[in-house]
Copies of this chain bind each other. A is one copy, B any other.
Amino acid sequence: MNQFKKMEMGAKHMRSTIRDVAALANVSVGTVSMVLNGSDKITEQTAKKVMDAVAKVNYRRNPHARSLSSSRSYTIGLAMTDLTNPFFGMMVGHLQREIDRHGYSLILGMTKNSVEQEKKLIEKFLDAGVDGVLIVPAHERNPELSHIYQLISHRMPFAYVSTYYTGTKGSCVMTDLAKGSYDLTKYLLDMNHKNIAFISGYRELVLSDQRIKGFIRAHRDREIEIRYDQILETEPDFQSGYDAARRVFERFRPDAIMTINDVMSMGVMAYLHEINMRVPEDISVAGYDDLLFSSMLETPLTTVRQPIKEMCRQAVDMLFGAIEEDDGCRAEAKRVLLEPELMIRKSTTLR
């Protein structure tokens, strides 16, 4: 269909194509394409002619045609665990901004902490022809990881954000969780706590394992013995935090409770409120993540801040590195650790 036919049919309803622009600017389609892609071997005046024509017919590149011929979709798939936790909400915000900066779009999918869902999502991303995948792993205990191998065998560039699956090759940008945990524990010990309960996630998960290691190391540095019952493993949500707090008190009387995220700390505080223990007068409580809410609770929460923004920036950079490399997906997996920051607030105090 040519411009003439278009006129017949009413040009208003027909999106103009690169050929229309070429005709109007009196150059070839190849030239128009090069101008549009910012090639450096185009005369300034030619470029101007083209851009004028583009403006005149209000031309927009057809993204599908572009993707087909260039075999790039300018699209990144993000497999996100669970957006009801504001921590991950922030993360999506930052990831989106970074991806945008590269001129790409973000296709979002939620796994709700189910590896099964994550599998389906990866399948979908592969079908949708994304150029790369970001994974914020679902926290599940014994994940079946065929989808990760599938990504690798399809040579699809991907990167983990915030934590990774043990035993898989794949780059990851995350907080130095062990260090955060270490710093917090050390601080509590410095503040004369003698009996800290640590409500953790399951040790099989990297994100729990590292935090537990930090907790243990801080005690070991002081040559303080840890009893096995000081560490509890459970699900990482509010209710589990509440339940675990109850279990702690069935075992012993702690002078502080640490959890692996702020939401769990809220569960702990709810239980403490119920048994009439005051925070921090009777017991200290500390979380991890530093949610927006955490500083605003009636008793602002001592916690460990993760540098989310930086984490997202580096993860996206890493992913685009892999995309732009000739065969980036075979490069060695990189693991980047970022510095956590201890946020001391009112929920902890000197004993």
Complex: A96 Cα to B73 Cα, angstroms: 20
Query: Cβ of B64 and Cβ of A129 under 8 Å apart?
Result: yes
Task: Encode contact with B along A97-115: 1 for CB under 8 Å, 0 otherwise.
Answer: 1001000011111101000
Beyond A83-B83, A296-B267, is A127–B63 a contact (Cβ under 8 Å)?
A: yes
Instruction: Name the distance in Å between A188's Cβ and chain B's nearest Cβ.
Output: 23
A321 at interface by CB-CB < 8 Å: no
- B-binding segment of A85-93, A204-212, A225-233: A85-93
Beyond A84-B93, A86-B89, is A63–B108 a contact (Cβ under 8 Å)?
A: no
Query: Cβ of B93 and Cβ of A110 under 8 Å apart?
Result: yes
Task: Encode contact with B along A64-96: 1 for CB under 8 Å, 0 otherwise.
Answer: 110110010111000000111110111011001
Instruction: Name the distance in Å between A221's Cβ and chain B's nearest Cβ.
Output: 35
* Complex contacts, A269 vs chain B, CB 8 Å: 298
* Complex contacts, A129 vs chain B, CB 8 Å: 62-64
A194 at interface by CB-CB < 8 Å: no
A224 at interface by CB-CB < 8 Å: no
Beyond A60-B126, A112-B93, A296-B270, is A84–B83 a contact (Cβ under 8 Å)?
A: no
Query: Cβ of A68 and Cβ of B62 under 8 Å apart?
Result: yes
Query: Cβ of B89 and Cβ of A84 under 8 Å apart?
Result: yes
Beyond A62-B129, A108-B92, A128-B105, is A298–B298 a contact (Cβ under 8 Å)?
A: yes
Complex: A89 Cα to B92 Cα, angstroms: 10
Complex: A126 Cα to B58 Cα, angstroms: 13
* Complex contacts, A85 vs chain B, CB 8 Å: 86, 89
Complex: A105 Cα to B110 Cα, angstroms: 12
Within 8 Å by CB of A64, from B61, B68, B96, lies B68
Query: Cβ of B110 and Cβ of A108 under 8 Å apart?
Result: no
Complex: A124 Cα to B92 Cα, angstroms: 18
A252 at interface by CB-CB < 8 Å: no
* Complex contacts, A298 vs chain B, CB 8 Å: 269-270, 273, 298
Query: Cβ of B266 and Cβ of A296 under 8 Å apart?
Result: yes
Task: Encode contact with B along A265-279: 1 for CB under 8 Å, 0 otherwise.
Answer: 011011001000000
Chain B residue with the shortest CB-CB distance to A70: B64
A187 at interface by CB-CB < 8 Å: no
A238 at interface by CB-CB < 8 Å: yes
A292 at interface by CB-CB < 8 Å: yes
A149 at interface by CB-CB < 8 Å: no
Complex: A129 Cα to B267 Cα, angstroms: 45
Instruction: Name the distance in Å between A126's Cβ and chain B's nearest Cβ.
Output: 7
A-B contact pairs, 10 of them (CB 8 A): A74-B128, A82-B93, A83-B83, A83-B90, A84-B86, A85-B86, A86-B86, A107-B107, A270-B296, A270-B298
